[in-house]
Structure 1
Amino acid sequence: MAEKKWLTEDKLALILGLVLFGLSLFNFGGVDPLGWAVKSNVWLEPGQMFSAATGAYKGMSGVLSLILTWIFVTVMLAFGIRALGGDAKRFMVSFTLVFFIGFFCFAIGHYAVVAATPNQLAKYNLKWAMGLTGEAGFIVALLVGIFIGNFMPGLAEKLKPALRPEMFVKIAIVILGAELGVKSVDALGLASAVIFRGLCAIVEAYLIYWALVYYISRKYFKFSREWAAPLASGISICGVSAAIATGGAIRARPIVPIMVSSLVVVFTCVEMLILPFVAQHWMYNEPMVAGAWMGLAVKSDGGAIASGVITDALVRAQAMAVDGVNYQPGWITMAATTIKIFIDVFIGVWAFVLAAIWCTMIECKPGQRMKLGAILDRFPRFVLGYVITFIIMLLLCAKGGDLLKMGKTAIGDTGPFRAIFFVLTFFTIGVVSNFKKLWDEGIGRLALVYIVSLFGFIIWIGLFISWLFFHGVKPPLAS
């Protein structure tokens, strides 16, 4: 069933993210409405896996917390799917499988031998651990998703109604804005520096990337303009959203942005499995460079921000193990998120520019005019949610004291939901990455452009620009 015109998945993500954020604000009135949400813990015994998010519900069993969270999230999303015009019952059945598979993958990543950092070894009576932190669960979820998508087509088909990675990550980003707003109170100077540097970095990177990919696609691979423009937008930096927006701006056939978007999803998986570990081993002494690099190099919203989350954990663990430096969590993620957010804002601007060029210089159809409303429709609404929650929490907590404590309790409520939606993003990205199907559809030549561009210059230019703008910028130390 077609989505209703008044509501898109992007707007729905904004609404649902703001609902969760709004509920968390009751903490400023002394009420903790979401503290029962399930939180994954580093564990050795299965009974330690889950617990309620906040101390107000410390008597609640982890299993009950998990069940309540599943019911709440499933019903909330089902209402949203129904509002979009989808089949809520089919979604609920599929989502139940997605939720439990994804969340148990996340729990496996919290096993102490995998997740415990060097400063936690004594706590868990361990002599050695991988030190990947609990965010290793994201990688487990991604790998399991890839396995299901490529080797268990029957199960993948059953999960299909709930495979909405872009919606999941957008909800998580709206929530993330609130968390970063609270954390920024302790380091306002650093937060503003990250935002400014991120804006400069994406403008410079985008203009270089796009022009190079478009030129290579046209000159050496002989793609038409219809293919080269969405390919340049999708490969260069912005991913799925940019490919779709560009396709609409130049009036490309629907198959064009769909094929490019599929390619982006596949290579996002590859980047997510490689780049965070590269950053861990060679960039732990420049943590903000590592975060910015994820934002510039990994293409999809979900992939870039999820890679930022993994990199945040891996780099902090490596810095602790090698140098004994314990950075605050979240700042590396903020660098990746900030850059990706500015990129999403820039998509609308770039779509407007391309629409103008195609209308006035390439197609030159008499009487055709650009409509401002069409450009505004391309503006990612979840970005607005990220900004709103960030600013509100920043203003509420700016005076510190009890207000800051209440703010930290509030993000303690939303933190588990952010983690859940990130897990869902990782898992569903993996499932939709059916490599064989894409190859059968003739994506080989497009993939070759992607490989040449990605490994030939995008990763390296992104790394240089990240270093240029974030070199020497360090996250605050954990107290």
Structure 2
Amino acid sequence: METIAEPITKTKPALTEDWTVVVLGLLIIGLSLSGIVIPVPAFGWKEGSDLTATVLSVKNGLIILEQFGFTYAIALIGAILTGKPLRSTLFGFPIIFGLTLLALVLAGNKTLKDLNLEAVIFSLSIGLLVGNLVQLPDWLKGALATELFVKIGLVLLGTTVIFGDILKAGSLGLVQALVVVVSVWYFAYWISKRLKIDDELTMMLASAVSICGVSAAIATSGAIQGDSKKLSYVISLVLITAIPMMLFMPYAAHALGLSPEVTGAWLGGTIDTTGAVVASGTLAGDEALKISTIVKFSQNVLLGVAAFAISVYWTYTKNQSADVQASKPTLGVIWERFPKFILGFLGASLLFSFVLDAETVDSVKGSLKSLQGLWFALAFTSIGLETRFADLFKAENRRPLYAFLIAQTFNIFITLLIAYFLFR
């Protein structure tokens, strides 16, 4: 994740993280279509005897080992392409995978599955427990690549989303995104100024709440040349508040009797991280997952436009230094800030919607679905490991915390209203 400090020297990246995700996602799909289909391990069990006979059997253990080897290789390629320290991934990824494997085994228990407790909840919980009880070494911190893991999963998710559904839900999602982003951004900006929060933090906070969480905060910080410490704080706020929203909003939607479409639109338009949207949508069901992902993508598309608008505003109203004055915004900012992993998602969806025959799709969809879920689980183990609860409650951080929570509450209600009228 961008907020993790690494004392280990990085090499110059060959690709940005977003382009790396596209390459890796399409590489996984290409290998599957060429015949390298990774078997799907079994994690379902009811009691101890089932656990020993199925999950812990030699045959299943070899399948898990094969899946580990495949994802390990992909993670190492990702580290090389993005310029991350190879040593960190080399030694750290097996630990992340081991914790995630424990989560998958726990989630396979029939009693827990009947409670609709998905693997991402266990991977997040285990990560939080370890991350807040143990001081992580720097080499393990360097292996945490939440955004990379979750975006690989999202590219693979494109193989299960029919393109016609994207066009239908995406148009409504774009309308919702425009209304939500504008209204929530201005509300968050207003409440932050009322609480006397400085301009830099206000801009990052408003963008994070209204657009797409971590990515929006990073893009805004880049557009205004913001303080990295303030950026790290906003990212921590986004990640930690996303956790209870991710867990409780699907159940709130069920209690309110919302349709899967409205539920998905509500989750996708409200929760601030793409990974948390996916996890929450998973809890709400396949249809809600599909709609929530597409709606979130619609908001992500606006990130480039928003970053461009913010950079124009900041340059011409806060041009206090020669550096800022010299950095005149151009239309290229839109493309620079556009989340490229969306191209991988759309490419996968087009391929599986219009190019491949049904027999080919059937032969690889189980393996790709399993890998998709594994990358999501790895991402949430990483989120848990890098999230520190104590950082949020320092005295100097309370006003931004209050502003964020108030703005997020407004976001929850206004998005529910809009989603209900657009998607019912």
TM-score by length of 1: 0.80
Which residue does 2:155 correspond to in 1? 174
CA distance in 2, matches of 1:15, 1:3: 19
Q: Identify the residue that residue 406 of structure 1 maps to in structure 2.
A: 360
User: Alpha-carbon deviation of 1:217?
Assistant: 0.6
For 1:163, the equivalent position in structure 2 comes to 144
Corresponding residue for residue 376 of structure 1: 335
- CA shift for structure 1 position 410: 2.0
Q: Distance in 2 between matches of 1:201 and 1:39?
A: 39
- Let me know the Cα RMSD of the aligned residues: 2.3
Paired residue for 2:171, among 184, 196, 219? 196
- Tell whether 2:15 aligns with 1:34: no
- The residue identity in structure 2 corresponding to 1:40 is F
Does 1:334 pair with 2:309? no
CA shift at 1:436, angstroms?
A: 0.8
1:460 maps onto 2:416 in alignment: no
Equivalent residues of 2:161, 2:349 under 8 A apart: yes
Q: Which residue of 2 aligns with 1:294?
A: 267
Change (3 A) 1:347 1:3: farther
Superposition deviation, residue 17 in structure 1: 0.7
Task: Write the distance in 2 (CA, Å) between the matches of 1:158 and 1:112.
Answer: 36
- Cα distance, 1:417 vs structure 2: 0.8
Which of 346, 349, 354 does residue 395 from structure 1 map onto?
A: 354
Question: Which residue in 1 is equivalent to 2:230?
Answer: 256
Q: Percent identity?
A: 27
Tell me: CA distance 1:60–1:441, structure 2 relative to 1, closer, same or farther (3 Å): same
Aligned twin of 1:119: none
Q: Using the alignment, how far apart are the partners of 1:408 and 1:350 within structure 2?
A: 40
- 2:422 corresponds to which letter in structure 1? F
| 341, 346, 354: which one aligns with 2:302 | 346
Deviation sequence 1:29-82 (CA, Å, 0-9, x none):
xx4x2142435335541146549xxxxxxx992110001111121122112213
Alignment of 1:90-169 (within 5 A): 90-116=88-114, 130=115, 132=116, 136-154=118-136, 159-169=140-150
1:447 aligns with 2:404: no
- The residue that corresponds to 2:51 in the other structure is 46
Q: Cα 1:366–1:157, aligned 2, differ >3 Å: closer, same or farther? A: closer
- Do the aligned residues in 1 keep the contact of 2:14 with 2:83 (CA within 8 Å)? no
Displacement of 1:366: 5.8
Per-residue CA deviations over 1:365-403 (Å, capped at 9, x if unaligned) read 766522344442222111110111111111125xxxxx2
Match of 2:206 in 1: 232
Summarize the Cα distance change of 1:249–1:115 in structure 2 as closer, same or farther, 3 Å threshold. same
**Equivalent-residue separation in structure 2 for 1:12 and 1:43 (angstroms):** 39
Cα distance change of structure 1 residues 366 and 93 upon mapping to structure 2, 3 Å threshold: closer
Distance in structure 1 (CA, Å) of the matches to 2:166 and 2:391: 43
Query: Given that residues 262 and 433 in structure 1 are in contact (C-alpha distance below 8 angstroms), is that contact kept between their aligned partners in structure 2?
Result: yes
Normalised to the residue count of structure 2, the TM-score between the two structures is 0.90
Offset of 1:3 from its aligned partner? 5.2
Runs of 5+ in structure 2 lacking a partner? Answer: 1-8
CA change 1:152–1:158 in 2 (3 A) is: farther
Q: What are structure 1's unaligned runs of at least 5 residues?
A: 52-58, 117-129, 313-329, 398-402, 472-479
